[in-house]
Amino acid sequence: MIQNIRRSLTDLLGAEYTAAVCRARAALTGESPEALRAVADEKVDFYPEAFARRQEELMGDIGHSLAPAFADTEDGAPTHSYRAAQHSFAAPLGGLGAFRIGEDGRLYFAGKSEHYQIPLGHDFPGYSLIENAKRLGIPNATHNNTRGFITRTLERRLIAAANGLQPTDPALDRILSQKEPGVLNTVINLETGSLAVEAALKMMLSRFYTIDGAPAQYAGRVPVFVVMADNAGGVTGNYHGTTVLAQTLRGLWPDFYTAAQKNELYKVVSVPINDSGAFAETMRRWNEGKYKTAGFCHEIVLMNYGGIRLSEEYLQAAYKVCRATDTPVLCDEIQSCAWYDGLFLFRKYGLTPDFVSVGKGFPGGVYPASKILTSAAFDSLSQFGALVTNGQEELASLAYLVTMEFIGANGAHIEAAGRYYHEQVRALAQKYPQVCTGVEGDAHMTALCFDSVDDAVDFCTRMNRDRCVDISAQTYKPNCPPVALTKLPLITTETMAGRLVALFDSALAETAAQKGAAL
């Protein structure tokens, strides 16, 4: 059961800080300090009963027209690829929790949490604390050398959570002072997941080519990036963002990469999924002679490659090999962070990465705000080595804190609902063996696997077009298992998940019947 909590800005940020904010606002505007203090102390319901009740009610209206359609003729000015992918009928006119009303007036269920951005849904009541912060005049815009109190507070709380500690635990100060690999104690505030990963890749490269031309630890050796393979042994199984370097890790920019490899600037090699022996052999091969592994980059759930979940045993074994070969590890949690009790999936696996990229879910779709958590052992970039002007936004940091507070109070619900949903989809796959081959992923990030691309596309079309449930068929990568990807908002209850699975059931029945008729 989802627990409502009530918090004020003072609860989240402390009385000393909010008192200082109120004094500053009063000095700037002449407002009453007492009235400002009341805003700082106002407790907000994060999940009021009326909001919770409406979520359950709306579940029965998915696919129905709840508002007049918007006769939209605006095409914008997109690129060709964006225009080809556009579905304006489902673009949002409004949203509430796990739902949005599209421009066609119908009610849609955010079955992928608007591409992993809204773990707490649209218009989450707890984010009204951001409006209170605005009323107090807390500015959003700061810069790298004027990081505000909220951002500095968030940094400390993220490091505490990444190490399984409460922010008040005395052990946190000891962790913050350590310099060993595998101890996360440093934060770089960025805006997008791509930039967060890019910062990690830069720090890996800086052991071979330093940013300022100073001697590098592994100067003269060829850096080798290790990534997850696809089912054909290629490099398309991974996805770590849209910067040029990250895209070459998955096979894009082939001419550019071939030139870089020919000139021995760097190399990319892949390791088979969940094959510990092959991983160890790969690491042995590329730590000989002129080559040195620069880093191992992985997600835990490959949401851009069939939703495949890497096993705990595989990753734990891989981390041991990486530590023995002085190979830093990037755990890319852009898609999985904030979707678990404890916030991070790597902690459930018992892993000790050197870099963790986080974002998307933490700011709840309110602001773009991603970060790289790393070890002080790899703190090798200058202040301008990984920087965006807007990376330290105070209100974005407040959105993080609100999200973390709610998830921290609802760990039991998150675990139970995710487990229930995954089990129900697994049972459904077994019910339709003529089209389904099983499930992948984990908890809310469950992927339904299909026998063929055509079956996956047919099912997703029926869900999107006829039932207004936003899911997608993953068909754009070669050698990728055909799957339907889902990522339910954390505010989805077991009752809501059951109703959703019933919609899956009806669509699968139609897909199976059509396939049977075609045979």
Other C-beta atoms closer than 10 Å to the C-beta of 240 total: 28
- Do 340 and 480 lie in one domain? The reply is no
Mean pLDDT (whole number) for 145-159: 96
- CATH code for the domain of 468: 3.90.1150.10
Q: What is the pLDDT of residues 247-295, one digit of tens each?
A: 999 999 999 999 999 999 999 999 999 999 999 999 999 999 999 999 9
> Above 70 in pLDDT, residue 437?
yes
Q: What total number of domains does the chain contain?
A: 2
- Do 275 and 374 lie in one domain? The reply is yes
Mean pLDDT (whole number) for 362-385: 92
Q: What is the pLDDT of residues 66-80, one digit of tens each?
A: 999 998 888 899 999
Residue 9 lies in a domain: no
pLDDT band at 213 (very low <50, low <70, confident <90, very high): confident
Q: What is the pLDDT of residues 95-109, one digit of tens each?
A: 999 999 999 999 999
pLDDT at 177: 96
Residue 108 lies in a domain: no
Angle at CA of residue 439, ends 343 and 322, nearest 5°: 55
Residue 53 lies in a domain: no
Q: What is the pLDDT of residues 23-32, one digit of tens each?
A: 999 999 999 9
- Do 352 and 372 lie in one domain? The reply is yes
- Domain-terminating residue out of 363, 387, 409: 409
Q: What is the pLDDT of residues 164-194, one digit of tens each?
A: 999 999 999 999 999 999 999 999 999 999 9
pLDDT at 361: 94
Q: What percent of the chain lies above the pLDDT cut of 90?
A: 92
> Above 90 in pLDDT, residue 382?
no
- Do 376 and 448 lie in one domain? The reply is no
Q: What is the pLDDT of residues 330-369, one digit of tens each?
A: 999 999 999 999 999 999 999 999 999 999 999 999 999 9
Closest-CA residue to 304 (of 116, 511, 460, 469): 116
pLDDT at 389: 83
- Do 252 and 372 lie in one domain? The reply is yes
Q: What is the pLDDT of residues 109-139, one digit of tens each?
A: 999 999 999 999 999 999 999 999 999 999 9
- Do 353 and 450 lie in one domain? The reply is no
- Domain-terminating residue out of 377, 409, 441: 409
pLDDT at 355: 98
pLDDT at 391: 86
Domain with 418, as residue range(s), is 412-518
- CATH code for the domain of 364: 3.40.640.10
Residue 43 lies in a domain: no
- Do 250 and 363 lie in one domain? The reply is yes
- Domain-terminating residue out of 409, 425, 450: 409
Other C-beta atoms closer than 10 Å to the C-beta of 281 total: 13
Mean pLDDT (whole number) for 481-498: 97
Helix H or strand E encompassing 225: strand 222-228
Residue 8 lies in a domain: no
Count of helix runs (H) and strand runs (E) in the chain: 19, 18
Helix H or strand E encompassing 161: helix 149-162
- Do 307 and 448 lie in one domain? The reply is no
Residue environment code for 209-235, b if the CB has 16+ CB neighbours within 10 A, otherwise e: ebbeeeebeeeebbbbbbbbbbbeeeb
pLDDT at 211: 87
pLDDT at 85: 86
- Do 402 and 429 lie in one domain? The reply is no
pLDDT at 500: 98
pLDDT at 72: 81
CB 410 within 8 A of CB 121: no
CB 517 within 8 A of CB 369: no
- Do 432 and 362 lie in one domain? The reply is no
> Above 70 in pLDDT, residue 50?
yes
Residue 377 in tokens:
């052992």
- Check residue 125 and report its DSSP letter: G
CB 369 within 8 A of CB 151: no
Polymer length in residues for the chain: 519
3-class DSSP state for residue 371? strand
pLDDT at 328: 98
pLDDT at 519: 58
Residue 24 lies in a domain: no
pLDDT at 198: 96
Residue 2 lies in a domain: no
- Do 178 and 240 lie in one domain? The reply is yes
- Do 338 and 250 lie in one domain? The reply is yes
Residue 358 in tokens:
């986080």
Residue 63 lies in a domain: no
